[in-house]
């Protein structure tokens, strides 16, 4: 009984994850209505302001947090780097943990 429940949970998890998989971007490499293809620098900027744009997009329907008219990998790298800069993605806090003083037995 337990193995069939585990199998069901695993299959359900795989189906959910497969539903989140991205598809191909049909607009990649094509210019937007402003005749612009977004590159690294625009990706960096849009990644940095993404949290603010997300909040604003909840109230305005014509805002999106990702530019589909981009040049591919460089835009994606800039976007993720901008998000990491905003959220402090350097990871240096993980290395600086508080040391708990130990009481030595005498």
Which pLDDT tens digit goes with each residue over 9-67?
999 998 888 877 777 767 777 787 778 788 889 888 888 888 888 888 888 888 888 88
User: In this structure, is residue 79 part of a structural domain?
Assistant: yes
Q: Please give the pLDDT value at position 86.
A: 78
Domain total in the chain? 1
The answer to whether residues 105 and 73 touch, using CB atoms and an 8 Å cutoff, is no
User: In this structure, is residue 48 part of a structural domain?
Assistant: yes
User: In this structure, is residue 93 part of a structural domain?
Assistant: no
User: In this structure, is residue 45 part of a structural domain?
Assistant: yes
User: In this structure, is residue 12 part of a structural domain?
Assistant: no
Domain range enclosing 77: 24-88
Model pTM greater than 0.75? no
Count of beta carbons in the 10 Å neighbourhood of residue 72: 13
CA 39 from centre of chain: 17
DSSP symbol at 90: T
User: In this structure, is residue 58 part of a structural domain?
Assistant: yes
User: In this structure, is residue 99 part of a structural domain?
Assistant: no
């Amino acid at each position: 009984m337990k193995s069939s429940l585990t199998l069901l949970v695993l299959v359900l998890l795989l189906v959910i994850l497969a539903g989140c998989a991205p598809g191909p971007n049909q607009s990649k490499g094509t210019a937007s209505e402003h005749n612009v293809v977004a590159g690294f620098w625009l990706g960096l900027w849009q990644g940095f302001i993404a949290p603010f744009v997300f909040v604003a997009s909840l109230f305005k329907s014509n805002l999106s947090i990702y530019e589909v008219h981009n040049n591919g990998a460089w835009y994606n790298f800039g976007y993720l780097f901008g998000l990491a800069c905003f959220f402090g993605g350097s990871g240096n806090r993980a290395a600086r943990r508080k040391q708990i003083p130990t009481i030595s037995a005498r």
